[in-house]
Structure 1
Amino acid sequence: MDSIGLLSAGEARSWGVVYQWGLELVRTIQTIENPALTALIKAITLLGSEVFYVPAVLLVYWCIDEKKGCRWTLLLLFSSWTNSALKVLLKQPRPYFLDPSVGIGAASGYGLPSGHAQLSLVFWAAALPGALGKRRAWLIAGSITLIIGFTRLYLGLHFPTDLLGGWLLALVILGAWYVLLPPLERLPAAGGMRILMIGAAALAFGMNALYPGDRRFGALFLGFSAGYLLMRSYFPFSASAEVRGKFSGTILGVKSGLVFRGIRFVLGMAGTAVLYQGLKFLLGEDSLLLGRDSLFGPGHYELGRFLRYGLLGLWAAAGAPWLFLRLGLAVPREK
């Protein structure tokens, strides 16, 4: 059993009925278990993880609409930070912590609120309305979210109450987002880049102060926000505009616009992977592999981590678009 799943006697008594009911539901669902279904479930559940969301939002930012990509990236980062902070605050176990026999899958950390439930609803509810209309979008977003929630029960990774907590938190975050987004988008004209930079830095450091256990989200939020503001001010990049010139038309029978967008995405993801691993090596974050402490010393591991994720956010928002423009893979955004 994972050590973080151990409960005090008081916690076990206060949550015992809820845990027992949840475990019985998980066991009932797992009566349909078979290898083929398990393989399918494990593939579907990835749609609720960062394995799916990170490439998805970067695809939008680099290849479809940089403004929407920026909004969704910051929304997901804030949602992920909120989820992680509440997990540590509430310290609720996962089903397989209490009964290892239901552990078809495995996951780190606590269970409530479910990150897969929360982030899937936030992502799809924010992504679909513009293309499908609000009513149809909410229907599809709800269906996808329910399917992903079912996979978490099947794998023994969450209680039903974990899913409910994730969905409720997602609705609160989405409600706040839709109310605050219009005035936030008016700030650039009112305050200028300096004010926005200060605001982004204050939010990022506030996130770290409130939840110092994981500095990734604050660093990514700061790096991406700063990168977007720099890009927009000094080399405005358009993800949607078509590249004109000698390569216009088709390339090997494929529309040149699709080819250029595909190259941008592959190049951007490759740069992200190289930067992620390269900085991890240079900063000495993998002490077992390198045989040495962090570049900043054993007491400052989190400083190196903050720097690495901040630079990753800066690369995604500004470095990659700058490279696309320099290589002729994209064109500047019209003012």
Structure 2
Amino acid sequence: MDAIWGAETGAVEWVQGWGSWLEPIMLAVTTLGSKTLFIAVLPLVFWSVHASLGARLAIVLLGSATVNGVLKTAGHGARPYWYDPGVRPLSTESSFGIPSGHAQTAVTLWGYLAATAARPRMWAAALVLIGLICLSRIYLGVHFLTDILGGLAVGALLLWLILRYERRAVAWWRSRGPVVQMALAVGLSAAGPLLVALVQATVWSGWTVPEGWTGPMPPDPQAGALADAASLSGALLGVLVGFTLLDRRGWYSADGSLITRAARYITGITGVVLIFVVVNLAFPASASAAAEYATFLAATLWASFGAPELFIRVGMADRARDGAGEPATVPPS
């Protein structure tokens, strides 16, 4: 890839040369594909807007992110600013570069929303957002064009699979018994970190930073990849278990007055913040992967099951099903 990256470095520097006035705009745009935004926004959708849509978006996001983490580890691709110190690191990343997680997530998440809305304007808006997010990643110096193209391709494939098989997959899941459901949840959540660890131990065993990568790099990107996989594993297990338990108890309705919806979000997100603080205090700094796993498992289990159950018990929500008698975990046709 050195020849390709060498040619693409000039393109990245050219985009960065458009002007420093773009930096705050691109930093804002790039958050539309970031994990931080989704931690804040997805619970809002699930708790206070539409439970079914929020649940489906959470699973789509986490599934896509898990695939991306495995592919990033398999690719071991450089970031532009890792490769060439001439590229300004206007944002920094601890994981490998290809395929772009922001590009992949933008296609799967915003594409899914557009497909759910089934309106031409939504597709147009999604395409504009996807394009801007991809441009922001190049401008910020964190992705080559090949990273972006890889992310778009993987995201498009995942979106097609989701739209084609989601209803059947959810119906199949709901037809299983609780023991099978829990076993599947554990297996699916463990697949990501196990594959990352396997690739690191085989394909990239003994990997060291190539001499041609002369820009500033994180101390240990392989450890960062494993920590990211651990956080995704914990989050995926939390939502799969939480949504399954909630569905078996009659699901949850996000209906209510504006004040009630706001109160639910404030209460729920306070719980998420407390979990992050408590778990991070409980784990030493050296236990990065374990801390990430525990934090995201506890936070997503609270968000997907603990908080909705609390809302129902204190009268802030009803135990109901969304749509015309359709279980809330099944998307509308």
TM range (shorter): 0.7 to 0.9
Does the alignment pair 1:119 with 2:105? yes
Match of 1:205 among 171, 190, 215: 190
2 CA distance for matches of 1:123 and 1:194? 30
Does the alignment pair 1:268 with 2:268? yes
Shift of the 264–38 alpha-carbon distance from structure 1 to 2, 3 Å rule, reads: same
Match of 1:231 among 232, 242, 246: 246
| Conservation of the 8 A alpha-carbon contact between 2:231 and 2:289 | no
Matches within 5 A, 1:162-181: 162-181=147-166
Does the alignment pair 1:311 with 2:298? yes
Aligned-residue Cα RMSD (Å) equals 1.9
Task: Give the structure 1 partner of residue 203 of structure 2.
Answer: none
Match of 2:79 among 94, 99, 115: 94
Shift of the 98–152 alpha-carbon distance from structure 1 to 2, 3 Å rule, reads: same
| Conservation of the 8 A alpha-carbon contact between 1:204 and 1:219 | yes
Structure exhibiting the larger radius of gyration computed from Cα positions: 1
1:215 aligns to what SS in structure 2?
A: helix
Amino acid at match of 1:105: S
Q: Deviations over 1:235-275 (max 9, x none)?
A: 53211x33xxxxxxxxxxxxxx1111111112111110101
Task: Give the structure 2 partner of residue 278 of structure 1.
Answer: 278
The two structures have a TM-score, normalised by structure 1, of: 0.81
| Conservation of the 8 A alpha-carbon contact between 2:71 and 2:98 | yes
Does the alignment pair 1:48 with 2:36? no
Task: Give the structure 2 partner of residue 57 of structure 1.
Answer: 42
Shift of the 32–188 alpha-carbon distance from structure 1 to 2, 3 Å rule, reads: closer
| Conservation of the 8 A alpha-carbon contact between 1:235 and 1:322 | no
| Conservation of the 8 A alpha-carbon contact between 2:107 and 2:159 | no
Match of 1:150 among 124, 135, 140: 135
Does the alignment pair 1:17 with 2:3? yes
Amino acid at match of 1:286: A
2 CA distance for matches of 1:304 and 1:27? 37
Residue 132 of structure 1 deviates from its aligned partner by 4.7
Shift of the 183–152 alpha-carbon distance from structure 1 to 2, 3 Å rule, reads: same
Residue 304 of structure 1 deviates from its aligned partner by 5.1
| Conservation of the 8 A alpha-carbon contact between 2:134 and 2:148 | yes
Q: Percent identity?
A: 27
Residue 163 of structure 1 deviates from its aligned partner by 0.4
1:101 aligns to what SS in structure 2?
A: coil
Aligned length: 291
Residue 109 of structure 1 deviates from its aligned partner by 1.7
| Conservation of the 8 A alpha-carbon contact between 1:92 and 1:111 | yes
1 CA distance for matches of 2:289 and 2:5? 35
1 CA distance for matches of 2:232 and 2:96? 18
| Conservation of the 8 A alpha-carbon contact between 1:201 and 1:222 | yes
Q: Return 5+ residue gaps in structure 2 as ranges.
A: 198-225, 326-333
Q: Return 5+ residue gaps in structure 1 as ranges.
A: 1-14, 243-256, 288-293, 295-300
Task: Give the structure 1 partner of residue 65 of structure 2.
Answer: 80
Amino acid at match of 1:223: G
| Conservation of the 8 A alpha-carbon contact between 1:285 and 1:305 | no
| Conservation of the 8 A alpha-carbon contact between 2:189 and 2:233 | yes
Amino acid at match of 1:201: V
Name whichever of 90-99 and 226-235 sits farther off: 226-235
2 CA distance for matches of 1:125 and 1:308? 29
Task: Give the structure 1 partner of residue 146 of structure 2.
Answer: 161
Task: Give the structure 2 partner of residue 221 of structure 1.
Answer: 236
